[in-house]
Structure 1
Amino acid sequence: MNRALNARMPRLWHVLALVWLLMVVLVAAHQWHFWRAANLDSDVLALLPQDEHAPEVSAATRRLAEQTSRQVVVVLGGKNWDQVRQAALAHRAAVAASPGGLKPLVGMDAAGLAQVLDFYRPYRDRLLTPAQRVQLTDSPSAALVQSALAGLYQPGVGLKLSDWVTDPLALWPQWWAQRAGESRARLRDGWPWVAADGKDWVVLAYELSGPAFAMDGSTPVTDTLVQAAAAVQTPDLRIVSIGIALHAEAAAAQANREVNTIGWGSLAAVLLLVWLAFRSLRPIALVSLSLLVGCATALTVTALLFGKVHLLTLVFGASLVGVAEDFGIHYFATRQSRLGQARWAVMGDLLPGLALALTTSVLAYLVLGLAPFPGLRQMAVFSSVGLVAAFLTVVCWFPWLDRGQVPMSGFAQRISFSLDHVPVLRMRPALFATALVMAVFLVFGISRLQANDDVRQLQGSPKALMDAQREVGALLALPSPAQFYLVRGQDAEQVLAREEALKQVLAPLAEQGLIDGWRAVSDWLPSQTRQQADATLTARAEREVLAAVAQQLGETFTRPVFAPQALDLASWLAHPVSAIARPLWLGEVNGQMSSVVMLQGVADSASLPRLAQLAEGLDGVRWVDTTANVSSLLGRYRMSMLGLLAGGYVVVFLALFWRYRGDAWRAWVPTLLASGLSLAIQGVCGISFQLFNVLALVLLLGMGVDYGIFLLEHRGDRSAWLAIALGAASTLLSFGLLALSSTPALQAFGFTMACGVSLVWALSPFFRPSGGPPQ
């Protein structure tokens, strides 16, 4: 019967190999399409979970990021105004001639302002400031007439009746003055100008027309700005650029570097270890093939499930190389020790242990996906699918493609026989003393852990970009995107009306100096109700003034005809002038129309509670503190993931007990001790404890148990220890390279994994069973 089974096994593996080949061909076809489309995401907010209490806040935050992501601001400063102005002209010309995809933003220079004025002029009668409404409502007609005559006979102006009649109370310039007050920039010689730090600054605003980043490591927008700066740079000129597009481009380029460093570094380490152990190109080629198929399949499935793949998923997935090679290494280590056994039989003997190791690892990755973090779910899917694909490649193809012998090398012999020098734990006084010292260290180290759930640990932007953001933000008094009011309503009219109600309660805070001001869509597009009321108020006052002045001068004045209908949202959004405030209009978010009111110059963080209180009594208005909300969310999920980790240990132990009964603890305890010691080391070293440390411990559970499984499954088999040593070394290198990442969260992940893998590698052989002679 065994002979008949052995005869059928090659045919069975041949069928499996062909089926898996078909799947890999489909993956290769998708890969070609994926890299052409570049469906990659760099937005850090896409990694984060939606607030379960207010999903509309998370959706609005992402929409706001999308709206503002295409704008780039450049400021040029110097002590000589003429020099700065000429530099700005040359900078704009250099940007226009570059293929970087930047174009000037409407409304930020004299030409743009003329376009804005032409758009709003037909609606001049329905654009009033709060002070003008009070003036027109409360002032007696005689006072308004005197004001109009004063404007008409203003010294140095002379009688310009045709101009005066169009705006007898000079309402139009006052409304524009308030709009200009939203920014520190003023027009000077046709350029937006700011005076600060003893320098004259020109503000140039650009809009991105192409993609925000490319995964090939190129930085077209940054390169365009660098080239433009080099074209106009003089010794006394300072040029600073900011914009979400620059952060996204830097993140993409950084991810490209880190994927190459971690991925290729891991691959090089794995291949070096395989060569030293087996001294043959065939194991290197086949192990490389399993890693390539695993990563490609993982990328394809992740892209199909999520639409886009986040850059940090690729960085994290690059460390998959250090885990997926275990299957191939274990196969060749066993082949090396069983020179006379058929390769189909070798794989048949290994299959139960490999399948259990795969199961525990995938379970650990899937636990990561239980948290409602889109980023973690991507990482979990990517890693799980990658492991399964590498496993299937080894199982289906290796017996078919591996047609030679695997000689025993001196390096492999030394590692294999090193297991004989590791004693099995026995009940001795020294063991109790060691356990007591370890327990004291665990309690001391873990008690010193300090939690840190700051969301900024997920951001790895270069320091130069962060410094530039702060400098330009202070120079121009730009509003912070971290705190804002979210305004929601059934339609655009209700949203704009609620914005106007919010601004009424914010006005006293601006008078008290707690805020410098705000930015809102309703500043540029009042509600229909407000426009109609203002048009009625303006018409009544101006007719009375024109009639009274005409009587005094003996003239006949005809008030100009304005637009018959109020300015509506569709017309405003369709015109380029809406670029001024378009990022604040979010459109439909979770079934309701939404907008954002952003604050300028918040005095200090102590004012935030009062600003939050203002929203409580206003319908459809919600205060959003993004940094605080997300950091709180990360803290909650850190605690919930600790609970899932405890549950994971229970599930894994049950799986081990089902297979090994009374010996299950031998594969389970080393990983438990390694996890605790990793936390203790982190506490002693003063490294903050965050969500990504917990995620590393979850992953360590699935990976560390594999070492115990191999030692239990192949008792006394030195080839199993060789496979464990090679796999642990490559895994340690892979996750250790994560410490080179510029993202603090990935650094923390890499540190915990490096400590944990080292410890579980060192501890596992002590817990192996004593039975079974060395083979």
Structure 2
Amino acid sequence: MRNKAAILWLLVVLAVGVHQVQFWRSARLDTDVLALLPEDEQAPEVDAATRKLADQAGRELVLLVGAPDWESAQRAADLVTAELSKDASLLSPSALDASSLDAALELYRPYRDRLLTPAQRTWLSRATPEELGGTALMKLYQPAGPHLTDWEADPLGLWPDWWAARASESTARPRDGRLWLSGEGREWVLLAWHSQVSAFALGADGNITTVVDRARAAVTTQVPGSRLVAAGVPLYAEAAASQASDEMSTIGIGSLVAVLVLVWLTFRSVRPIVLVGVSLGIGCAVAMSVTALVFERVHLLTLVFGSSLVGVAEDYGFHYFAARQGKPPSERGPLMRSLLPGMVMALLTSVVAYLALGVAPFPGLRQMALFSATGLVGAFLTVACWFPTLDTGALPVTSFSTRFATSLARWPRFASTRAWWVGTAALVLFIIGGLWRVRTRDDVRQLQGAPANLIADQRELGRLLGLPSPAQFFLVGGQDEEQVLAREASLKARLDPLVTDKVLAGYRAVSDWLPSAEQQRSDAKLSARAEAQAVAAVAQATGEEPTRARFADDVLTPERLLASPASAAIRQQWLGRLGEKHFSIVMLRGLNDPSVLPRIADAAQGLEGVRWVDKTQEISRLLERYRRLMGGLILLGYVAVLLLLVVRFRREAWRAWLPTVVGTLVTLAVFGWVGEPLQLFSVLGLMLLLGMGVDYGIFMLEHPGEGSAWLAVALAGVSTLLSFGLLGLSATPALRSFGLTMLLGEVTIWLLTPCCRLPPGKDVS
């Protein structure tokens, strides 16, 4: 029977091996932080809009090249362009440059008569024929110079003011065929490039980051006093991929090395090292294959989280070899059968705790839960099916293992004495005081820790260019495109007073560049009447009979605008049809003070089809909601585990259960005393403490008084501390908080478990 199980598991492992080869040849690793977040079940159109906005912006790279003078800035920009152009398969220049102005002029020229600013609209509706005629005469006799169009096409000079309003959305201006701005003691050239590869399909190679760094080095060395500021989703995606890869190596490899060193010190044999390593490797491979088959993509943070699996999955191998020491090879089968009840119960509690992560609708957490649970099952089956067959030689008792095993007799045991009750009272006071100080923080920015240099560049670029915020915006919906544009206009009328009061620096809307068809027709009639009066006044004053230019008969449509390079500035804001409705986004500039956000949100009150979206706040509230949900699940989990333990150990079940309860409370108390905020990933760590911490008590109760059980618990505890201690070094705040939770809890549980062991001569029967 044992050989059949070993052969069957071998076939499964071979199948996993084949899948692993195929997977890594075309690995689909995801670095998109949005993939970790829950779907917005209350407003799916907001989630769809956010994702589409992120997808459209996911390939854009914006650079500012600055120097003390304009000539040096142009030379530096040429160097950057040369470096970025070396690999056309990686990056291509975007249409966002000065040359796109010509394309925009050609697109809008036939529709010039129906492009009016609100101020122009008000003036034209109130101006007298004399005022209109005077303005037209003044424009006619202005000195010759560069003009956007001739006098007949724009006798009142309306078009330059309309373009000036559009230009106010950015501080960049055309100069010598480039986009230029001045600020912070430098002259800057604005460059825009487009990634040929999706940012969310990038690996850890950092190809775009390497190219940008090479361009930065060329600029700083060849043009004195110059600098390059770069920002864009591709850079963040590559930084996340590189960080995750480094952390996976540090945590996974570091944990594995620590485990193998412990095995060598304990058993002084290569065989346990090899077999424990095999069980860990197969467990991780099984986890990767199952996760890849269930999910379309495997997230890199799943691998970082799963790399801590090394600190848990080796428990089964430790337990087997600790009991195997000093016994002849002929007892391998009976030994494994005697160990299986405790190992199965330990596996069950751990898997249940891991799978509890999947209760929350976080795709990333579900991946982590599946990866960890299947990895543990894979490691356990390797130990149960293969170890009795492959472990053929003798395994003598070493002095290190003897000292460890005999230390159990010297370990203090809980007793009803004054000293123990005083210590318990002090611990209770410590826990109560810490719990009173516990504070919570639910912030979506915990999910990813971006490098400081990228954040600094993003802030500087946003400050210089006055870029709109991607996290707060208005979502405008309607039954058709015309209704969306009309509703945008209503919203802008509410926002204009906020801009006047300097609550906002400004906004950017599609209807600024594309008025609704009704508005275009109305403005066309208004400008036609006013310009006819102006032309008549000029004819009367000069004796000549100028004629007004002809314009397009139809209106400018979204399809025509989006097909032109002129739409580059607002293309990502036009979401088009999502479900049964059409949507657009109105983006806001100058959101530097969070206290003004409620006032801005009030601007949408009463406007049908207009919704204020603060994605940072929404996701943070969602994190808070599921932190509370998982907190409730922990309480239910403790009750369920206690009932499970009572079935097996009856009145002695508290001995396996109490250390984990105290470990959880001590962890929360320490967080309170040191000021570490409690967040969702801390609570998830507490959930896993429940599953793993109880394992130690189970092993001790299954084999009371046996030094081998204590040796296995000691080795498992130390190795788990090492693995999760390394996870606490993660640059990602969420993973770091998770690691610290596990570290504090495991230390407490490991220290308390032997204190709750059975008295000599007593068993659980």
Q: Same fold (TM over 0.5)?
A: yes
Residue 100 and residue 459 in structure 1: after superposition, are their counterparts in 2 closer, same or farther (change >3 A)? farther
Residue 556 of structure 1: CA displacement?
6.0
Indicate the residue corresponding to 1:212 in structure 2.
199
Match of 1:154 in 2: 142
Q: How does 1:76-475 map to 2 (within 5 A)?
A: 76-98=65-87, 101-109=90-98, 111-157=99-145, 163-212=150-199, 217-233=204-220, 234-475=223-464
- Give the match's secondary structure for 2:151: helix
Q: How has the CA–CA distance of structure 1 residues 131 and 385 changed in structure 2, closer, same or farther, with 3 Å as cutoff?
A: same
CA distance in 2, matches of 1:224, 1:446: 50
Q: 1:344-367, CA deviations, whole angstroms, 9 ceiling, x for partnerless residues?
A: 322222222111111101111122
Distance 2:290 2:29 in 1: 14
Out of 398-407 and 652-661, give the one that drifted further.
398-407
Q: Give, in whole Å, the separation in 2 of the partners of 1:592 and 1:763.
A: 60
Asked whether the 8 Å contact 2:700–2:709 carries over to 1, the reply is yes
Is 2:689 aligned against 1:680? no
Amino acid paired to 2:670: I
**Who is 1:9 aligned against?**
none
Per-residue deviation, residues 559-609 of structure 1 (Å, max 9, x unmatched): 545444333223333333322112222344465332221111246333211
Are the structure 2 counterparts of residues 99 and 700 from structure 1 closer, same or farther at C-alpha, using a change threshold of 3 Å? farther
Which of 688, 691, 705 is residue 680 of structure 2 equivalent to? 691
Mapped to 1, the partners of 2:347 and 2:237 lie a distance apart of 36
- Once residues 133 and 103 of structure 1 are traced to their aligned partners in structure 2, the CA distance between those partners, rounded to angstroms, is 40
Contact 1:216 1:256 in 2 (8 A): no
Cα distance in 1 for partners of 2:662, 2:284 equals 31
The CA distance in 2 between the partners of 1:520 and 1:19, in whole Å, is: 63
CA-CA distance at 1:212 after TM superposition: 2.0
Measure the CA separation in 1 of the matches of 2:748 and 2:657: 13
Are the counterparts in 2 of residues 515 and 603 from structure 1 also a CA contact under 8 Å? no
Alignment partners' CA distance in 1, 2:330 and 2:517? 85
Q: How far does residue 514 in structure 1 lie from its aligned partner after superposition?
A: 1.6
Q: CA, structure 1 residues 406+567, in 2 after alignment: closer, same or farther (shift >3 Å)? A: farther
Any idea what SS the aligned residue of 1:567 has? coil
Distance in 1, Cα, partners of 2:756 & 2:682? 26
| Contact map agreement 1:76 1:203 (CA 8 A) in 2 | yes
Residue type of the alignment partner of 1:453: D
Output the CA distance in 2 between the equivalents of 1:637 and 1:180: 44
Contact 1:585 1:595 in 2 (8 A): yes
From the superposition, tell whether residues 768 and 528 of structure 1 become closer, same or farther in structure 2 (CA, over 3 Å): same
The number of residues matched between the two structures is: 761
* Distance in 1 (alpha carbons) for counterparts of 2:48 and 2:421: 55
Residue 599 of structure 2 corresponds to 610
Matched residue SS, 2:643: helix
Offset, 1:739: 1.6
Native 8 Å contact 1:485 1:621 kept in 2: yes
* Unpaired segments ≥5 residues, structure 2: none
Q: Which amino acid aligns with 1:155?
A: P
Question: 1:730 maps to what in 2?
Answer: 719
SS of equivalent to 1:481: strand
Q: Secondary structure at the match of 1:320?
A: helix
- Classify the secondary structure of the residue corresponding to 2:216: helix
Shift of 1:215: 6.6
The letter of the residue matching 1:156 is: A
Alignment of 1:455-604 (within 5 A): 455-546=444-535, 549=538, 559-589=548-578, 591-602=580-591, 604=593
The residue matched to 1:747 in structure 2 has which SS?
helix
Farther-moved stretch of structure 1 (456-465 vs 633-642): 633-642
Higher deviation after alignment, 687-696 or 627-636: 627-636
Letter in 2 for 1:716: G
State the one-letter code of the partner of 2:211: T
Conserved 8 A contact 1:293-1:390: yes
Query: Residue 156 of structure 1: CA displacement?
Result: 3.1
**Letter paired with 1:126:** R
Q: What SS does the corresponding residue of 2:701 show, helix, strand or coil?
A: helix
User: Cα deviations across residues 143-173 of structure 1 (Å, max 9, x unaligned)?
Assistant: 3333223222212359x99932233333322
Label 1:641 to 1:717 Cα distance change in 2 as closer, same or farther (>3 A): same
2:758 is aligned to 769
Moved >6 Å (runs of 4+): none
SS at match of 1:88: helix
Assess, with a 3 A threshold, how the Cα gap between structure 1 residues 161 and 51 changes in structure 2: closer, same or farther: closer
Aligned CA distance change for structure 1 residues 394 and 558 (closer, same or farther; 3 Å) = farther
Pair 1:37–1:172, CA change in 2 (3 A): farther
CA 1:268 to 1:214, structure 2 compared with 1: closer, same or farther past 3 Å? farther
Task: Supply the distance in 2 between the matched residues of 1:561 and 1:401 (Cα, whole angstroms).
Answer: 91
Report the RMSD for the aligned CA atoms in angstroms. 2.4
**Is 1:44 aligned with 2:20?**
no
User: 1:707 maps to which residue?
Assistant: 696
Cα distance change on mapping 1:44 and 1:162 into 2, 3 Å:
closer
User: C-alpha offsets along residues 299-338 of structure 1, whole Å, 9 cap, x if unaligned?
Assistant: 2222333322222221111101111111122122222243
Structure 1: which 5+ runs fail to align?
1-11
CA displacement at 1:182 relative to structure 2? 0.5
How does the TM-score come out when normalised to structure 1?
0.93
Shift of 1:764: 0.7
TM-aligned CA distance change 1:157 to 1:454, over 3 Å: closer
AA aligned opposite 2:120: Q
CA–CA separation in structure 2 for the residues paired with 1:274 and 1:537: 87
Name the stretch that deviates more: 248-257 or 397-406.
Answer: 397-406
The one-letter amino acid paired with 1:130 is: P
Q: Distance in 2 between matches of 1:112 and 1:31?
A: 48
**Aligned partners of 1:392, 1:763: CA distance in 2, in Å?**
29
- Residue type of the alignment partner of 1:72: L
Kept in 1, the 8 Å contact 2:30–2:200? The answer is no
CA-to-aligned-CA distance 1:691-729 (integer Å, 9 cap, x gap): 222111110000000001111112222222111111111
Instruction: Identify which range, 698-707 or 591-600, moves more after superposition.
Output: 591-600
Equivalents in 1 of 2:762, 2:705: separation in Å? Answer: 5
2:617 corresponds to 1:631 = no
Aligned residue in 1 for 2:60: 71
Alignment match, 1:760: 749
* Cα distance in 1 between the residues matched to 2:527 and 2:131: 15
Identity %: 53
| AA at the equivalent of 1:656 | L
